[in-house]
Amino acid sequence: MRTHYCGQVTESLIDQTVQVAGWVHRRRDHGGVIFIDLRDREGLVQVVVNPDAAENFAKAEKLRAECVLSITGKVIPRTEATVNPNMTTGKIEIVAEQLDVLSMAEPIPFQLDEKNVGEETRLKYRYIDLRREQMQNNLKLRYAVTRSMRRYLDDNGFMDMETPILTKSTPEGARDYLVPSRTHPNKFFALPQSPQLFKQLLMMSGFDRYYQITRCFRDEDLRADRQPEFTQLDIETSFMSEEQVMNTMEGLAKTIFKDAIGYEFEDDFPRMTYAEAIEKYGIDRPDLRIDMQLVDVADLLQDIEFKVFAGPAKDPKGRVVALRVPGAGSMSRKEIDEYTKFVGIYGAKGLAYIKVNDMAAGIDGLQSPIIKFFPDQVMQIMERVGAQDGDIVFFGADSSKVVNDAIGALRVKLGEDLGMLNGRFKPVWVVDFPMFEEDEETARMVAIHHPFTQPKATTEEILNHDAPHQMLSRAYDLVINGLEVGGGSVRIHDTKMQAAVFKLLGIADEEAQDKFGFLLDALKYGCPPHAGMAFGLDRLIMILGDIPSIRDVIAFPKTQSAACPLTEAPGMVDNAQLQELLLRFRKPVRAADK
């Protein structure tokens, strides 16, 4: 039905007969001559239907937007006055010789160039929404990224291998999606949160370089950059150190950016420890486009009478920091109040500040209601943060978690609001993560990444460590512009070390055998040292295309309530299906009945 895509008909085809097919983007009647902008995935081409071709003209008069046509005609140059320099096809048009209507279209629920279409409507009519140029470009970018990934990994000796979608529930991370088994009554499969254990088994099987672009599933609360089902590039290697893995993966990232959007990184990606990231930026995925840093000032404020600062300054679990915002001293009280509300989202009880009017004047050149509480220390603080005339300095004083969360987020918001982003893409490897942290609700130790990550310790040190939360892991994350785009680690390949980690996590031998017996058994039969990484494909494409919503890089996403307006999933099933699975409906438990 076509010899060329619409967007590929250029002046090189003048005087040739071509056949194109696509959707009516726009129809215009100009004094008896009908112009049709015909659209396909490669762009638009203008078609001219003259009244002397009576049959074609009669068909064209009945057309509306989104009808599907096949048109055969001769390519001719446009007149100089009608050339459109903004289109690849802007110097030509096609004079229709044959016009076939392949499908008529009813009036569509929204126009493709309409700006303020609700997301629920867009998702309900996703097949129309995907026709828009921006959405077409997003999914083309997605294809370009996956194509680049495959080429790089194929060229570097990696093998594309599949792992199961129906697997066993091992609820150590997020909540699993469960699938009841008809053939095994009262038993369930789980959809994989990642192929982690299977890719480790592949290493034990001798396939030393594996990759897979795979779907993963997590039944968790959603955010703008999170979906219940998502895609990741999953990678595992044998006989490679973390340095070698990171260097190979950095090469992959650089190749993707160059192939997909033509961007080249000039330097190697910097490395930063987890401890440094938390100290300077309050978060383990710092946005290095923003130069501002958190500065600890607790040591200067421990002996003052102002308990708001002195309390956290003396508390081993507290923190007091200052954040200098260059040139923002003219900020109004209303703006400061808005930022105070913002940090309140993260648990901060307030937002103290000092405006720097004249550093040369000493304390008299500072403006703030809190200066009176620590007059002897204030100039030391200003010197430590490098304050200059015209700055404002914000303070955070609370538990370390609240300060890190609140002031770390404030740093990013101020950077965005005040136009302080420096550079287009700023990558960083974050390394030396803690191996464990304490769960505040259960008081149990939990693995920060997963329990198969290798600690920077021997088995004996793991068993005898009196402060496991201080133990580091051989884990690494790749962060770009404040978003984690990939993470990985060296894995445990020794049965005794794996058992020691399970013991520290409070997982008894019987429970470990029940949940992970197949892995523990495999470790006994010769397991190579191995390490790997996974890239979040959806999030990576958001960064590459500067796309604010993860739903705009996925063809058929879910809403924030994990529903699909297009198919109305999840939906009810009939009793016959449930009976086959030995299941029945239950009424939701009301809060009052608990």
pLDDT digits (tens, 9 = 90+) for 155-187: 999 999 999 999 998 755 678 999 999 999 999
Angle at which helix 242-261 crosses helix 537-545, to 10 degrees, equals 50
CATH fold of 6-103: OB fold (Dihydrolipoamide Acetyltransferase, E2P) (2.40.50)
Secondary element (H or E) of residue 519 = helix 509-523
- The mean of the pLDDT values for the chain is 94
Q: How far apart are CA 104 and CA 64, in angstroms?
A: 8
Per-residue confidence (pLDDT) for residue 221, from 0 to 100: 75
List pLDDT tens digits, range 367-390.
Answer: 999 999 999 999 999 999 999 999
Per-residue confidence (pLDDT) for residue 592, from 0 to 100: 58
Q: How far apart are CA 248 and CA 487, in angstroms?
A: 13
**pLDDT-derived band at 461, boundaries 50, 70, 90:** confident
| CB burial of residue 174 (10 Å; 0-12, 13-18, 19+) | middle
CATH 3.30.1360.30 residue ranges in the chain?
A: 290-417
Annotated binding site: 172, 218-220, 227, 449, 484, 491, 536-539
Angle at which helix 400-417 crosses helix 274-281, to 10 degrees, equals 70
Closest CA to 351 of 390, 285, 320, 395: 395
CATH 3.30.930.10 residue ranges in the chain?
A: 135-271+427-562
Annotated binding site for ATP: 218-220, 227, 484, 536-539
> Encoding tokens for residue 51?
């009244």
Q: How far apart are CA 309 and CA 296, in angstroms?
A: 12
Q: Which residue has the tokens 């290798």?
A: 454
List pLDDT tens digits, range 502-528.
Answer: 988 888 888 888 888 899 999 999 999
Q: Which CATH superfamily is domain 135-271+427-562 in?
A: Bira Bifunctional Protein; Domain 2 (3.30.930.10)
- Options 3.30.1360.30, 3.40.50.880, 3.50.50.60, 2.40.160.40; CATH of 290-417: 3.30.1360.30
List pLDDT tens digits, range 9-50.
Answer: 999 999 999 999 999 999 999 878 999 999 999 999 999 999
**pLDDT-derived band at 357, boundaries 50, 70, 90:** very high
For 288-308, what is the mean pLDDT?
96
Q: How far apart are CA 507 and CA 442, in angstroms?
A: 13
**19: which strand partners?**
72
Closest CA to 352 of 318, 317, 306: 306
For 57-67, what is the mean pLDDT?
96
Per-residue confidence (pLDDT) for residue 212, from 0 to 100: 98
For 291-313, what is the mean pLDDT?
95
* pLDDT surpasses 80 at 533: yes
Q: How far apart are CA 393 and CA 339, in angstroms?
A: 13
* pLDDT surpasses 80 at 591: no
**pLDDT-derived band at 222, boundaries 50, 70, 90:** low
Annotated binding site for L-aspartate: 172, 218, 449, 491
Per-residue confidence (pLDDT) for residue 282, from 0 to 100: 97
* pLDDT surpasses 70 at 539: yes
Per-residue confidence (pLDDT) for residue 1, from 0 to 100: 85
CATH 2.40.50.140 residue ranges in the chain?
A: 6-103
Per-residue confidence (pLDDT) for residue 462, from 0 to 100: 86
